[in-house]
Amino acid sequence: IETKLPKVGTTIFTVMSQLAVQHNAVNLGQGFPDFDGPQSLRDALAEAMNSGRNQYAPMTGIPKLREQIAQKTERLYGRKVNADTDITVTSGATEAIFAAVAAVVRPGDEVIVLDPCYDCYEPAIDLVGGRAVHVPLSLPDFSVDWQRVKDAITPRTRMIMVNSPHNPSGAVFSAQDLDTLAALTRDTEILVLSDEVYEHIIFDGLPHQSVLRHAELADRSFVVSSFGKTYHCTGWKVGYCVAPRTLSAEFRKVHQYLTFCTFSPAQWAFAHVLEHDPQHYLDLPAFYQEKRDHFRDLLQGSRFQLLPVRGAYFQLVDYSAISDKDDLNFCEWLVREAGVAAIPVSAFYETAPAAKIIRFCFAKNDKTLADAAERLRAL
Ligand code: PMP
Ligand code: GLN
């Protein structure tokens, strides 16, 4: 049949995780922790399943969870959002991204994405007949060149997608970035999709510059987050979207037919931990900063050159001192010969830069990181 997604194969995360299994490698490729979330969360899930919380949840998410998300949003970002009209619980951030794009992007519309960008953005745009317009982030620090974004805007631009803390680079937005984005989209029809799944994984005391802190921008944005990242349970696939009432109404028209609702017991469990253990996400920056610092220390003395990491749980490294293979070939070689799986950064680009960079995930136990680092130092 004629494919609707000619550029798409199997995601690099699946490919690398399969190779990791095949070669019995340490898997620092696909981004997921190799440890569990809080015991209280898992207990709350079991409790929900054992107390009859097993039927359809309300389409928009259970009220108690939406209320907790609203409280967190106000506490952390100073924005009052209406739990009934502005918050929708989704089956992971992935579903939220698809629903937001499908809700507002019309055939022929352009959506600006900043490369390297997360791999589900472009297929979501393509499937609704939109066109992704790729603007590269500036090396070496993966900052946004807003002049280039401005130059990419046309009368057909419907949406700009941003992601801070950023996968794969770990770059984070400043308040100035938000001001500039607000200025660029002021008095236009352009909407913003802000992917903030790593909102609680940010280092060196930097504040997370959520779009929700910026009243003007928040009024035209979908802000997407994921409990998978925050609570070490990527396999549960629960996320949410915060957007003003009118945008949320359109979003929900799609969500109700994409999945209708999200796994009920997990919603009760997240509502429980948000209410009873708000410290968990406040402790996350220190928790992951220690892992970042530990992994970087372990790689000292290797021939990998470490790029700075300000947020998220990925370490980019330049491997040009080790090999002149391209990044996909290097990752295939690395998993086979060194027994460590990584992700080639070109997977996040339309046109990959010349730099030889791959991504390691450091959301791992110390022993996993030590095993991997020992293999990497030997190269
Ligand atoms: N956006 C980014 C930047 C991500 O890294 C990920 C996931 N790993 C997602 C979205 C998807 O999140 P979820 O697993 O909740 O669908
Ligand atoms: N977001 C994860 C990553 O960047 C992967 C999620 C997935 O496998 N789809 O590694």
* Residues of the chain scoring pLDDT < 70: none
Ligand nearest to the CA of 92: 1
Instruction: Tell how far the Cα of 285 is from the centroid of ligand 2, in angstroms.
Output: 20
Q: Is the CB of 92 within 6 Å of ligand 1?
A: yes
d(CA 251, CA 99) in angstroms, rounded, equals 6
Atom of ligand 2 nearest to the CA of 118: 4
Atom of ligand 1 nearest to the CA of 229: 15
Q: What are the structural domains of the chain?
A: 12-37+280-377 (3.90.1150.10), 39-277 (3.40.640.10)
CA triple 30-34-36, angle to 5 deg? 125
CB 322 within 8 A of CB 334: no
User: Which two structure tokens, joined as six digits, stand for 251?
Assistant: 């979003």
- Nearest CA to 132 out of 109, 102, 155 is that of 109
Integer angstrom CA distances of residue 107 from 3, 112, 130, 159, 277: 17, 15, 5, 13, 44
Give nearest CA residue, ligand 2 atom 9. 13
Instruction: Tell how far the Cα of 367 is from the centroid of ligand 1, in angstroms.
Output: 25
User: Which two structure tokens, joined as six digits, stand for 190?
Assistant: 């352009």
Give the model confidence (pLDDT) of 283-300 as tens digits.
999 999 999 999 999 999
- Per-residue pLDDT at 99: 98
Ligand nearest to the CA of 262: 1
263 Cβ neighbours under 8 A, 6+ residues apart:
57, 91, 236, 237, 238
Checking ipTM against 0.95, whether it exceeds it is yes
d(CA 145, CA 339) in angstroms, rounded, equals 37
CB 285 within 8 A of CB 200: yes
Instruction: Tell how far the Cα of 226 is from the centroid of ligand 2, in angstroms.
Output: 12
Three-state SS for the chain is CCCCCCCCCCCHHHHHHHHHHHCCCEECCCCCCCCCCCHHHHHHHHHHHHCCCCCCCCCCCCHHHHHHHHHHHHHHHCCCCCCCCCEEEECHHHHHHHHHHHHHCCCCCEEEEEECCCCCHHHHHHHCCCEEEEEECECCCCECCHHHHHHHCCCCEEEEEEECCCCCCCCCCCHHHHHHHHHHHCCCCCEEEEECCCCCCECCCCCCCCHHHCHHHHCCEEEEEEHHHHCCCHHHCCEEEECCHHHHHHHHHHHHHHCCCCCHHHHHHHHHHHHHCCHHHHHHHHHHHHHHHHHHHHHCCCCCEECCCCECCEEEEECCCCCCCCHHHHHHHHHHHHCEECEEHHHHCCCCCCCCEEEEECCCCHHHHHHHHHHHHCC
Ligand nearest to the CA of 95: 1
d(CA 274, CA 53) in angstroms, rounded, equals 18
Instruction: Tell how far the Cα of 13 is from the centroid of ligand 2, in angstroms.
Output: 6
Give the model confidence (pLDDT) of 315-360 as tens digits.
999 999 999 999 999 999 999 999 999 999 999 999 998 999 999 9
